[in-house]
Amino acid sequence: MPIEDQGTRVILGFIFIDLLFSVIAAAVAFAITYNEYVHHYPTKKEPIKMGLDTALMTFIVFIILGILGVIALHWMT
């Protein structure tokens, strides 16, 4: 199904960019959190869990902010 409306293409483009950068932000948040906590625990299980929790929260926050940004841009035009 081709997308013919230019506004819809722009919105889908912003959503794709939002997903891409949300995944990158989550990966970086995991790496930072894991690297900080790995020194404080004898096993790697707990730092991995904390890193994944932080990555999930980061992903959710970035997705929400991105969607709100798309809504704001669509509302302004």
| Angle between the N-to-C axes of helices 6-37 and 45-76, in degrees from 0 to 180, rounded to the nearest 10 | 160
Structure-model confidence comparison of residues 76 and 3, the more confident one:
76
Residue 14 falls within a domain, yes or no? no
Residue 50 falls within a domain, yes or no? yes
Residue 31 has pLDDT above 80, yes or no: yes
Residue 27 falls within a domain, yes or no? no
Q: How many domains does the chain have?
A: 1
Q: How many Å apart are CA 36 and CA 47, to the nearest integer? A: 8
Percent of the chain with pLDDT over 70: 94
Q: Is 41 left (phi over 0), alpha (psi -120 to 50) or beta?
A: beta
Q: Is 2 helix (H, G, I), strand (E, B) or coil?
A: coil
Residue 25 falls within a domain, yes or no? no
Residue 62 falls within a domain, yes or no? yes
Range of the domain at 61: 44-72
Residue 32 falls within a domain, yes or no? no
Residue 56 falls within a domain, yes or no? yes
